[in-house]
Every structure is written in C-alpha cells, then in structure tokens.
Amino acid sequence: MKKVSIVIPLYKSEKFLTKLLDSIMNQTYKNIEIILVDDGSPDTSGEIADNYAKKDSRFLVIHKENGGCCDARNKGLEKASGEYLMFADGDDWMELDCIEYLVRIAEDNGCEMSTTDAIFTTRNREQNNFDSIRVMNKSDAVASIINTFYIPVGPWNKLYSMKIVKENNLSFSVPWFGEGLYFSAMAAQYSNKMAVGHRKVYNYRLNNPNSGCTLKEVQNGINSMNNILYIKKSLKVNSKSIEDALNWHIWTNYFHLADYIYSASAVKEYKNEYIEAKNEMRVYMPKVMINSTISVSDKIKILLKTIFPVFFIKYGDYKAKRAFQNDTMD
C-alpha cells in the first residue's frame, strides 16, 4: 500500500474544516499523510488543524504568513513524501473510499494519474447508477481536463504520481486564477496514461460565500484568461482534440470575463477588457462550432451567448442567486 500525500491549504475554513478532516482521517485507505497548510488564516482553522495533529500522527501542520492558495500548496508540496499526491480544498470533503478508489483504478490500469468524471456537490447528492473505467492516453487526458464538462476542474478529485510531479518540477507557481487547471493539465501531459472512473468520490461545496468560484471578481476573470492562454503556450503535446478543447475553454473564459465585468457594474472601469471579451467571443465562436465533441444544443447556446451576452449574463446571475439561496447543506 503506497503512501498518499494529501495537501490542503487552509484559509477561513473553520466552518467546514472538521467535516473534511474527519472524512480523510476515516478513509478506508490508511497509508496517508495529511499536510495542512494554515495560510495565515484569521479564524481558528490553524487551531483545528493542530488539534487533529495531536490525535492522529498522520497529520502534519504548517503555519505560515498569508501568501495565497498557490503558495500554500507549494509549501505543502515541499513536505510531501508519498508516492502519490492528492489535494483537497478546506471546505470540501471526501467519500470514505475516495483515496482507495483512485489508487485502485490507477494501479489496476497501469496509470500514473487517475480521476473521475463526476463529483457530488452540495446541490447534487445522487450517486451514479453504474461505474465504468476509461483509460486515456496523454493527449486525450489533456483534452478532457481542458474540456471541463468532461473532467471536473480543479486539482482535487485527482491522484497524481509524485514521481511525475517531482521530475517535471510541477508546482502552483503560476499565480493566476485557475491554477488547478494548469497543474492538472501539465501533470496529464507528462503521464503516460490516466484512468477515469465514473463513481462519485469527492464532494465539492457550492454554498461557501467566500469561495473564489462564488465571488465574481473581475481580476479573477482576467487571471483566468491569462491562465488558459499560458496553458496553451506551455503544452508540449498537440492534437485536434486539444486544439478544440482550448478553443472552447478560451471562448468560455472570455464569456466569464464579460460576465464578471458586467455583474460587478464595472463596464466603464474595464471598458477595454469588456469590449475585447465580446469581440474575442465572436472570433472563437466559429472555432468552437466545428468542435465535434460539443452537442448541437450546446453549440446553439454558445451561438446565442455570443450574440446576446448581456441577456445570458443576467439570466445566469438570477439562476446562480436562486441556487445559492436554496443550497443550505452543512
């Protein structure tokens, strides 16, 4: 049973942290080390972490000045000693067989990386009726990760070979929003194969008001755009499927940037960025429309969003607000 290192950055996580740490402490896979990085959190997250370290020697706590999520993960990576690597966010939690499942599908199929194509959220608690394991080569793995409707975005919900991470100097040193997509895509391109399961084993929280995915900050939209363009420049593997995935993701990020600017009532302040986002949506839309992996209905939505972005931004904000208000899961 190879050791698995789980790196978890902590910042303002006290409300949800116990649920996460209990779910990891009670995993069916026992050979783990849990590296908790207190990123100068102003609440009791660091104290909670210390208490878990006192009762379970598999916990290691690092206290540091606030430097952001990327810096916290990098500090955890420096201490990780396992043969496999995982990440979790402080407000999420794992199913009790999460680690066992990801290790098993990787090792059974000779893969250096594994993940699933579905997750639980605080708004969707239904398990898939069946499981299936697909094995992808590095090209298909990269494309599926960038096509975030295939593989849930984020560094979590994935198992990485520590050898791949160390040999290729992978880290979270790219300071842009969406750093998890960068890390996962880079790991996939250096892994020979990736196993993808269909069972839900990771729980993603959608009702944290402090989450970067809940708050629509314009700078995050700009940073996300920088991130996907940097990924495009950094990839060493090429294929039609990767090109299609990049075109879709770039179009999506330009729509999100327009969304963030409009929703923040910052069109005047970010006039140039707002105009550029809408123009680039029109540039990338035809490239996305020839992508054979996108359904006809989704292509129609992309076309309409490109022509009428403000309508869909307002409608999306309304739906998101209603969903957030109705999401009361602890």
Q: Is 62 within a domain? A: yes
Closest by CA to 23, choosing from 81, 108, 89, 104, is 89
Last residue of a domain, one of 204, 226, 244: 204
Share of the chain above pLDDT 90, in %: 90
Kindly report, residue by residue over 34-79, the tens digit of the pLDDT.
Answer: 999 999 999 999 999 999 999 999 999 999 999 999 999 999 999 9
Residues in the chain: 330
Boundary of a domain, candidates 175, 204, 233: 204
User: Mean pLDDT over all residues of the chain?
Assistant: 95
| Top-confidence residue, 113 or 212 | 113
Rounded to 5 degrees, φ, ψ at 165 are -65, -45
The pLDDT assigned to 303 comes to: 97
The beta strands (E) that lie in 15-83 are given as 32-39, 59-64
Instruction: Provide the 3-class DSSP secondary structure of residue 203.
Output: strand
Cα 139 from Cα 62, distance rounded (Å):
36
Please report whether residue 180 resides in a domain.
Answer: yes
Backbone angles phi, psi at 68, to 5 degrees: 95, 165
Does 317 lie in the same domain as 174? no
Name the domain boundary from 178, 204, 230. 204
- Quick one: 179 and 248 in the same domain? no
How does residue 175 score in pLDDT terms, banded at 50, 70 and 90? low
**Residue 212 domain-assigned?**
no
Q: CB burial class (10 A; 0-12, 13-18, 19+) of residue 154? A: buried
Q: Are residues 129 and 258 in the same domain?
A: no
* 281-316 pLDDT per residue, tens: 999 999 999 987 899 999 999 999 999 999 999 999
With respect to residue 210, please indicate whether it lies within any of the assigned structural domains. Answer: no
Residues 13 and 117 in one domain: yes
Between 174 and 222, residue with greater pLDDT = 222
Q: Do the beta carbons of residue 61 and residue 8 sit within 8 Å?
A: no
Please give the share of the chain, as a percent, with pLDDT higher than 70.
98
pLDDT at 212: 65
Greatest C-alpha distance within the chain: 57
Tokens of 197: 């399961």
What is the mean predicted confidence (pLDDT) over 232-237? 94
pLDDT attached to residue 60:
98
Name the pTM for this structure.
0.95
Q: Which domain holds residue 72?
A: 4-204
Residues 245 and 197 both lie in one domain: no
pLDDT above 70 for 214: no
Say if residue 236 is in the same domain as residue 174: no
Residue 82 phi/psi, 5-degree rounding, is -80, 165
9 and 67: one domain? Answer: yes
User: Same domain for 184 and 304?
Assistant: no
pLDDT band at 149 (very low <50, low <70, confident <90, very high): confident
